Amino acid sequence: MSDKPINAPSGADPDARPLSELGWRPFFQQQLDLVEFENTQPVRVVAVHRNALHVVGEHLSLTVPPIAVSDPEEAATIGDWLLLDPNIPRVVRRLDRISVFKRKAPGTGRAVQLIAANVDTLMIVSSCNQDFNIARLERYLALARAADVTPVIVLTKADQSDAPEDYRRQAEALMPLLCVETLDATNVTEVKALHPWCGPGQTIAFVGSSGVGKSTLTNSLLDQSDIATQEIREDDAKGRHTTTHRALYPLPSGGWVLDTPGMRELQLTESEDGVAALFEDIEELSRKCRFQNCAHETEPGCAVQQAIAAGDLDAGRLHRWRKLLAENERNSQSIAEARAKDRALGRMYREVLRHKNRRE
Ligand SMILES: Nc1nc2c(ncn2[C@@H]2O[C@H](COP(=O)(O)OP(=O)(O)OP(=O)(O)O)[C@@H](O)[C@H]2O)c(=O)[nH]1
Ligand SMILES: [Mg+2]
Ligand SMILES: [Zn+2]
């Protein structure tokens, strides 16, 4: 046990890595024009601090000021690729992302919070104990589908459970072809089961509640114990999270692993496609309902209710689908409103400035 804060990755030297091992792809390369090609260097964000970004490139690892943006969704987040003018050094611009995870910022605010960009595999971590919760797993799966990222479910603490296989079966039933690994996160050999997703240039991210073993998994993949994990939750420390910052670590296998703090609240936003993809069976059934706007309650000719009556669809699943859809719509709407308001405010400021400049 250690309560040491997380720092930049120790172990392997990130500076020595070729671009391809940093996750550089043709998708990013194609975004550079000739001038940028000759005068800038691509770097990847491995940690985001309050007023600085830690970036790593082919022969460099340094801290730079963040890019100034008015829309928080445009800000650089962990995993982003940036073009750096190495002479100043200054970030010239952020490159378009292959994927990005976001959620509604916790609390009553209406902002979006970026979680990570350019992740290849989302490792959804839960434990073979009372943390295991179907609705929560579905929420993460919808998030992964919405971001077009491959989800894998990692069920930890298999060593402390009498029936890890039961948990595995329940998780596997959530989506066709879903990969589920049950393991002891403290066991380096067992954690090798995750290696297929950790090859050179591949980025995986661990997400899940506090205490499920995300940092333990990260340490096992790194074959070290540098990242703080916490054994006992004292009564007064209830809800305190061991990991407080997101950080990207280079793996000996050539990939990257993102350890994240446990999320108390994961509210979906703008993830309608993800929810639809995850609940494809229900979406498919609803197309067979007699009425196009069927609410699947007491309407005659409702294919969804018929499937429930026939035992082909679990009523709980229908309930969870409704809940996620409603939540996503509510959040997407309030965020759209907030954005419109921001735009209107922006227009007003520009107008005032123009007016002022004209008078000067
Ligand atoms: N026996 C056993 N213990 C585990 C396993 N996974 C995690 N633990 C223990 O559970 C505790 C919490 O693990 P962490 O890795 O700190 O959890 P975390 O998900 O990073 O938590 P936050 O950083 O708070 O989000 C630690 O004491 C780990 O040693 C496992 O598979 N088996
Ligand atoms: Mg942690
Ligand atoms: Zn219906």
Q: Which ligand is nearest to the CA of 237?
A: 1
pTM of the shown model: 0.82
Quick one: CA torsion of 191, 196, 202, 208, rounded to 10 degrees? -40
Q: Are 29 and 81 in contact (CB under 8 A)?
A: no
Three-state SS at 240: coil
User: What's the pLDDT tens digit per position in 247-290?
Assistant: 899 898 889 999 988 776 677 777 788 888 888 899 999 999 99
Question: Nearest CA to 125 among 159, 79, 80, 158?
Answer: 158
User: What's the pLDDT tens digit per position in 127-158?
Assistant: 999 999 998 899 899 989 888 899 999 999 99
Phi then psi dihedrals of residue 191, to 5 deg: -70, -15
Cβ atoms within 10 A of the Cβ of 270, count?
17
Q: Distances from the Cα of 262 to the Cαs of 68, 93, 213, 285, in angstroms?
A: 28, 30, 10, 35
Cα 216 to middle of ligand 1, angstroms: 5
* DSSP-assigned letter for residue 337: H
Cα 37 to middle of ligand 1, angstroms: 44
What is the band of 182 on the pLDDT scale with cuts at 50, 70, 90? very high
Does ligand 1 have an atom closer than 6 angstroms to the CB of 214? Answer: yes
Cα 40 to middle of ligand 1, angstroms: 41
Q: Which ligand is nearest to the CA of 290?
A: 3
Helices (H), 74-213: 134-146, 164-172, 188-191
Task: Quote the radius of gyration of the chain (alpha carbons, Å).
Answer: 23
Q: Report angle CA 324, 325, 327 to the nearest 5 degrees.
A: 65
pLDDT of residue 276: 86
Closest Cα to atom 12 of ligand 1: 211
Greatest mean pLDDT range, 57-61, 103-107, 125-129: 125-129
